[in-house]
Structure 1
Amino acid sequence: MQADYFAKKKRNTLGFLSILGVVTVLAIIITEYNVAKGFTSLPKAVEWGLANFYPTQESLTKLPDILDKLIETLLVSIAATTTGAVFALLFAILGSNTTRVNAFFGSISRGIATIFRNIDVAAWAMILLFSFGQSSLTGYFALFFGSFGFLTRAFVETIDEVSGGSVEALQATGAGYFSIIFQSVIPSSLPQMISWILFMIETNIRSATLIGLLTGSGIGFTFNLYYKNLNYDVAALVVVVIIAAILFIETVSNYVRRVVL
């Protein structure tokens, strides 16, 4: 019986790899991608990057302006994540099997979260450009909608996993709905929710850089501006600042997880 199981699993794996290989070959043929040329061009690309794409002493004069844009990007990312988390918590409570008011509202909450989660933040940015134009507000709403969808799903799973036993215990004692929410669900789920929020902040800071290219704001737009003007030394400095900021935020996030959680 066990041998049949592993044989079936092996056949499924080989079948999946075969389909993946066929799709890859078809993609190469349709796009007319030259695989050999792609790999042979890598050394030249690295050589060009080392020769041109690095910060210089002159580029450091632009550092204050770059830091201002970086701070703007960080603040927008944090604001979008925290406000998205507030709305996500409300929809998660309504959508969780443990705390939902009824099946109808639960399905509606999960459906809305699914729609928002499955639309990428870049797609949200392009959609919102028609309403708000190129501005920080467009980037904020794009990150907010993406954060809301992802965190709602994460919070629903957290509530269902962590709070089930304590909710049943309070219900058995006759506790009211809001007493269960504030005395059991939120306290028991809060550490894991904070962890998800920290993860989302890290993700949004990375996404905000790309979103800035579309919305004409933040550190992403700054990089695009200098790169298109062939100021490669300043563009390289922007990249270095972004990497340093991401590593710093990740370090702080890991520290908070260790100390607080």
Structure 2
Amino acid sequence: MNRAVTLRDAAVAEMAGIAARHPQQFRAMPPARLRALALFLASTGLLVFGLWRLEFSPSRLVDGFGQLVHFLGLMIPPDPGTWSRTMLILRGLSETLAIALLGTLGAALLAFPLGFLAAWNTSVNRLVQFLSRRVLDSVRGIDALIWALIWVSVVGLGPFAGVLAILTSDIGTFGKLYSEAIEAADRKAVEGVTASGGGKLHGIRFGVLPAVLPVMAGHVLYMFESNTRSSTIIGIVGAGGIGLMLSEMIRTLEWGVVSFIVLLILVTVAVIDTISGRLRAALAGARAG
């Protein structure tokens, strides 16, 4: 205790010297803290401006919440109406699942070589890697709903346009995820293949692929789950699936049918999430083993 007091007294006595040696620490507002404060104030100002510019109104929000409660009351109980309509809803749901599955698998296969071209450790050269990255960024920068509108204009209404929209949108996402997984792969296996006389392609085949395939499979499972929801949205613009029926039911104010469709979508997504989560856990365990 006495030693601690002695050290404190010595530090107080040397305060002037310490301040002279470390002036940055004794400023009233260090530059780093000043920059953080300026960034906080700028972000707050931007938030306030955005709320004002977008005409945010607490009263409108409260009124809208009351309206939402009213609509929820109209949606209870869920009721498809007739058996024939139930079959149409189930058919639309199966079409949505087919769109998500085909679009996801098609994108996963097409993005596979692009992922290797976009990764720095497997690409042909820096120029090819740069161009591959920019192409993937450009494709990924356009939302699936926009792609759906484009493909509906190109190939017409129907699930084919939905498959193409999901496929095109996911190529960019898969390519980025694949390239990051490839770049993060352990280099020791590749070095071992190279040391035994293998070339670059042998290193990719026997060193990189075994490490990244489980990761890629996990990405595909997750995107299939996500695309099940996306396929519902793109169906609203005429790209097939249950989304078009959901839009029609909302337009005609048949809230019982709307709640039945929404509940069916939620159950389907929950089941897919459970199954894909277990498969991803199994793949992660197999990779760790």
The answer to whether residue 160 in structure 2 is matched with residue 160 in structure 1 is no
Distance 1:101 1:151 in 2: 19
The answer to whether residue 179 in structure 2 is matched with residue 148 in structure 1 is no
The answer to whether residue 150 in structure 2 is matched with residue 95 in structure 1 is no
Q: Which amino acid aligns with 2:194?
A: Q
Q: 1:31 offset after TM fit, Å?
A: 3.1
1:41 counterpart (56, 59, 64): 64
CA contact 2:74–2:255 (8 Å) conserved in 1: no
Distance 2:170 2:25 in 1: 44
2:281 counterpart (249, 255, 258): 258
CA contact 1:139–1:208 (8 Å) conserved in 2: yes
Q: 1:44 offset after TM fit, Å?
A: 3.6
Q: Give the match for residue 95 of structure 2.
A: 72
Q: 1:240 offset after TM fit, Å?
A: 0.5
Q: Given the superposition, is the C-alpha separation of residues 152 and 56 from structure 1 closer, same or farther in structure 2, using an over 3 Å criterion? A: same
Q: 1:248 offset after TM fit, Å?
A: 0.4
How many residue pairs align between the two structures? 260
Distance 2:257 2:160 in 1: 26
Q: 1:61 offset after TM fit, Å?
A: 5.3
Task: Pick the structure with more helix per residue.
Answer: 1
Q: Equivalent residue of 1:162, what SS?
A: coil
CA contact 1:59–1:237 (8 Å) conserved in 2: no
The root-mean-square deviation of aligned C-alpha atoms, in Å, is 2.4
1:85 counterpart (108, 119, 142): 108
Distance 1:3 1:215 in 2: 63
Q: Summarize deviations over 1:161-207 as a string: whole Å, max 9, x none.
A: 11433223222332133322222221111111111111111111111
Distance 2:66 2:32 in 1: 40
Please list every run of 5 or more consecutive structure 2 residues that lacks an aligned counterpart in the other structure: 1-21, 285-289
CA contact 2:100–2:224 (8 Å) conserved in 1: yes
CA contact 2:161–2:240 (8 Å) conserved in 1: no
Q: 1:51 offset after TM fit, Å?
A: 3.4
2:142 counterpart (119, 125, 133): 119
Q: Equivalent residue of 2:182, what SS?
A: helix
Q: Summarize deviations over 1:103-128 as a string: whole Å, max 9, x none.
A: 22222221211111111111212222
Q: Give the match for residue 193 of structure 2.
A: 170
Q: 1:58 offset after TM fit, Å?
A: 3.0
Q: 1:83 offset after TM fit, Å?
A: 1.3
Distance 2:30 2:97 in 1: 51
Q: Equivalent residue of 1:64, what SS?
A: helix
The answer to whether residue 216 in structure 2 is matched with residue 193 in structure 1 is yes
Q: Give the match for residue 30 of structure 1.
A: 53
Q: Give the match for residue 261 of structure 2.
A: 238
Distance 2:83 2:38 in 1: 54
Q: Given the superposition, is the C-alpha separation of residues 172 and 183 from structure 1 closer, same or farther in structure 2, using an over 3 Å criterion? A: same
Q: Equivalent residue of 1:215, what SS?
A: coil
Compute the TM-score of the two structures, normalised by the length of structure 1: 0.89
Q: Summarize deviations over 1:190-240 as a string: whole Å, max 9, x none.
A: 111111111111111111111111125201111001111121111111000
Distance 2:179 2:115 in 1: 5
CA contact 1:66–1:238 (8 Å) conserved in 2: yes
Compute the TM-score of the two structures, normalised by the length of structure 2: 0.81
Q: Summarize deviations over 1:69-113 as a string: whole Å, max 9, x none.
A: 111111111111111111111011122111112222222221211
Distance 2:135 2:169 in 1: 12
Q: Which amino acid aligns with 1:251?
A: T
